[in-house]
Amino acid sequence: MHEEPVVRVRGLRKAYGAREAVQGIDLDVHRGEIVALLGPNGAGKTTTIKILATLLKPSYGEARIDGLSVGPVNARQVRSVIGYVPDYFGSYEDMVVLEYLEFFAATYDIHGKKRKQVIDDVLSLTDLSYKADAEVNSLSRGMQQRLSLARVLLHDPKVLLLDEPASGLDPRARIEIRELLKELHRMGKTILISSHILLELADFCTTIGIIERGKMVFTGTVREILERAKVGLVVNVGVAANAASAAEVIKLLPGVIGVETFDGEVRVSLDPKLGDPSLIAHKLVTQGYKLTRLDEERVNLETAFMRLTKGLVQ
Ligand SMILES: Nc1ncnc2c1ncn2[C@@H]1O[C@H](COP(=O)(O)OP(=O)(O)O)[C@@H](O)[C@H]1O
Ligand SMILES: [Mg+2]
User: Is 84 strand, coil or helix?
Assistant: strand
Residue of 12, 19, 215 best suited for mutating to test ligand 1, as the one with most atoms within 8 Å of CB? 19
- The CATH number of residue 293's host domain is 3.30.70.100
Cβ atoms of 25 and 219 closer than 8 Å: no
Q: Which of 97-111, 144-158, 297-311 has the lowest mean pLDDT?
A: 297-311
Of 196, 220, 244, which one is at a domain's C-terminal end? 220
Residue 22, ligand 1, Cβ within 6 A? no
What atom in ligand 1 is closest to the CA of residue 49?
Answer: 17
Q: Decide if pLDDT at 92 tops 90.
A: no
**pTM of the full structure:** 0.82
What atom in ligand 1 is closest to the CA of residue 50?
Answer: 17
Residue 79, ligand 1, Cβ within 6 A? no
Q: Is 121 domain-assigned?
A: yes
Residue 47, ligand 1, Cβ within 6 A? yes
Q: Decide if pLDDT at 222 tops 90.
A: no
- The CATH number of residue 37's host domain is 3.40.50.300
User: Is 13 strand, coil or helix?
Assistant: strand
For the chain, the residue count is 314
Q: Is 314 domain-assigned?
A: no
Residue 41, ligand 1, Cβ within 6 A? yes
| 142-182 confidence digits (pLDDT tens) | 999 999 999 999 999 999 999 999 888 888 898 899 899 99
Residue 39, ligand 1, Cβ within 6 A? yes
Q: Quote the pLDDT of residue 313.
A: 59
Q: Quote the pLDDT of residue 198.
A: 66
Residue of 46, 84, 194 best suited for mutating to test ligand 1, as the one with most atoms within 8 Å of CB? 46
Is 175 in the same domain as 239?
A: no
Beta strands in 78-149 (DSSP E): 82-85
Residue 294 lies in domain: 229-309
Of 220, 248, 276, which one is at a domain's C-terminal end? 220
Q: Is 1 domain-assigned?
A: no
Q: How confident is the model at residue 303 (pLDDT cuts 50, 70, 90)?
A: confident
Residue of 16, 25, 193 best suited for mutating to test ligand 1, as the one with most atoms within 8 Å of CB? 16
Count of domains for the chain: 2
Q: Quote the pLDDT of residue 156.
A: 96
Q: How confident is the model at residue 246 (pLDDT cuts 50, 70, 90)?
A: very high
Is 213 in the same domain as 286?
A: no
Is 241 in the same domain as 210?
A: no
Of 176, 194, 220, which one is at a domain's C-terminal end? 220
| 26-43 confidence digits (pLDDT tens) | 999 999 999 999 988 999
Q: Quote the pLDDT of residue 283.
A: 94
3-state DSSP of 163-213: ECCCCCCCHHHHHHHHHHHHHHHHCCCEEEEEECCHHHCCCCCCEEEEEEC
Residue 2, ligand 1, Cβ within 6 A? no
**Alpha-carbon distances, residue 255 vs 162, 186, 252, 289, 295 (angstroms):** 37, 31, 9, 21, 17
Residue 177, ligand 1, Cβ within 6 A? no
- Which residues fall within 8 angstroms of residue 228, CB to CB, at 6 or more apart? 218, 220, 304, 308, 313
**Alpha-carbon distances, residue 161 vs 29, 216, 218 (angstroms):** 11, 18, 20
